[in-house]
Amino acid sequence: MTKRFPDGFLWGTATSAFQVEMGRGKPSRDSDWWAWVHDDENIRRKVVSGDTPENGPGSWELYPEDFRIAREGLGNNAIRLSMDWARLFPEPTTGVEVGVVCDAHGDVSKVEIDETGLNELKSLADPEAVRIYREMLSDARDKGLTVMLTLFHWPIPSWLHDPIACRDDVDSAPLRGWLDQTTVVEFAKYAAFAASTFGDLVDLYATVNEPRIVGQHGYLSDPPEFPPGLYSPEHLMTVLRHLSIAHAVAYDQVKRWDVESASHLGPATVGVVCVLQYFEPADPGNPKDVEAARFVEYLYNEWFLNSVTKGDFDVDLDGVIQPQEQRPHMVRGCDFIGVNYYTRWYVRHAPRGGDPQFDYALGPRDGELTDSNWDVYPQGLRSVLNWAHARYRRPIYVTENGITDSRDERRVGYLLDHLGQLHAAIEDGVPVLGYFHWSLMDNFEWADGYRMRFGLYNVDRRTKERTPTKAVPVYREIASSNTLPE
Write down the catalytic residue from 210, 225, 297, 445.
210
Cα dihedral across residues 52, 56, 59, 62: positive or negative: positive
CB atoms within 10 A of CB 129: 19
* pLDDT tens, position by position, 356-408: 999 999 999 888 999 999 999 999 999 999 999 999 999 999 999 999 999 99
Residue 445 among the catalytic residues: no
210: annotated active-site residue: yes
Residue 104 makes CB contacts below 8 A (sequence gap 6+) with none
> CATH topology for 3-484?
TIM Barrel (3.20.20)
Catalytic residue among 54, 186, 400, 445: 400
Q: How confident is the model at residue 438 (pLDDT cuts 50, 70, 90)?
A: very high
Burial of 360 (0-12, 13-18, 19+ CB in 10 A): buried
For the stretch 226-265, pLDDT in tens is: 999 999 999 999 999 999 999 999 999 999 999 999 999 9
Terminal CA-to-CA distance of the chain, rounded, Å? 5
pLDDT band per the 50, 70, 90 thresholds, residue 212: very high
Q: What is the pLDDT of residue 276?
A: 98
| Average pLDDT over all residues of the chain | 98
Residues above pLDDT 70, as percent of the chain: 100
Taking 80 as the threshold, does the pLDDT of residue 323 lie above it? yes
Q: Is the pLDDT of residue 1 over 80?
A: no
- pTM here? 0.98
Query: Coil, helix or strand for 380?
Result: helix
